[in-house]
């Protein structure tokens, strides 16, 4: 999970397998504590759906939800070196200048059998596609506010399979969902949870094609 880190003691986090921080220059460190809350909410949504998954937070956001392309590429490369099965990227960029670097990182991940789940657009109806979520070989995600958090849809976007999922994280008792964190970040997190469960079901296969096929074949009944 490439994000702002995790609060491992949060009640929604059952366990963390390890982690790392990566600064703007691509330098690794041991501190993956979440100072923003975003990564913890993303992790909670993933672990809710795949509680047996080994989750490794890679912190690239520190004091704000911004990072450098150097840090993002280094984080993807760390995941590849560590032989991760699945990478959650509840983020993206619409800047064309970053496409080539992210395309190269995605290609290395695909070659290593590492699946990536990432935001395709920033929200419902947005026109500019994001990288790396719109790149071939990445499972792109869009928000769908009409379905529940236990559902997803697989749709075609320019020839690429794209997951549509709820943009709400796990509930906080006493807080209305609209007042909690919400948006495409959590559509990605929910989708990654579904994908992690699918990875467990198809193991030891490590192909994007097998993963997408399983997700299509096992989409929850009732999703519009």
Neighbours of 153 (CB within 10 A): 18
- pLDDT of res. 198: 96
131, 160, 107, 89 alpha-carbon torsion, rounded to 10°? 40
Quick one: fold of 2-217?
A: Rossmann fold (3.40.50)
**H-helix or E-strand spanning residue 84:** none
**Which pLDDT tens digit goes with each residue over 90-114?**
999 999 999 999 999 999 999 999 9
**Which pLDDT tens digit goes with each residue over 34-60?**
999 999 999 999 999 999 999 999 999
- Domain spans of the chain, in order of start: 2-217
Neighbours of 60 (CB within 10 A): 29
**Which pLDDT tens digit goes with each residue over 166-207?**
999 887 666 666 766 789 999 999 999 999 999 999 999 888
**Inter-helix orientation angle 184-202/38-49, to 10°:** 40
Distance CA 155, CA 148 (A): 17
Dihedral pair phi/psi, residue 186, rounded to 5°: -90, -20
With cut-offs at 50, 70 and 90, classify the pLDDT of residue 140: very high
Dihedral pair phi/psi, residue 202, rounded to 5°: -95, 0
């Amino acid at each position: 999970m490439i994000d702002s880190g995790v609060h491992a003691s949060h009640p929604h986090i059952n366990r963390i397998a390890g982690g790392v921080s990566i600064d703007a220059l691509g330098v690794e460190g041991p501190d993956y504590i979440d100072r923003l809350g975003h990564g913890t909410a993303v992790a909670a949504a993933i672990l809710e759906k795949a509680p047996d998954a080994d989750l490794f937070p890679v912190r690239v956001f520190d004091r704000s939800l911004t990072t450098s392309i150097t840090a993002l590429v280094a984080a993807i490369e760390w995941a590849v070196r560590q032989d991760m099965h699945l990478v959650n990227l509840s983020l993206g960029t619409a800047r064309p200048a970053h496409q080539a670097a992210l395309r190269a990182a995605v290609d290395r991940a695909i070659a290593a059998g590492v699946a990536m789940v990432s935001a395709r657009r920033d929200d419902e109806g947005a026109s500019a596609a994001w990288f790396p979520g719109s790149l071939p070989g990445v499972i792109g995600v869009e928000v769908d506010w009409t379905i529940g958090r236990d559902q997803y849809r697989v749709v075609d976007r320019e020839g690429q399979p794209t997951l549509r999922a709820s943009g709400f994280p796990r509930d906080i008792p006493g807080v209305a969902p609209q007042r909690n964190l919400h948006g495409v970040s959590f559509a990605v997190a929910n989708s990654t949870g579904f994908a992690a469960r699918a990875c467990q079901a198809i193991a030891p296969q490590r192909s994007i094609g097998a993963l997408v096929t399983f997700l299509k074949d096992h989409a929850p009944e009732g999703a519009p």
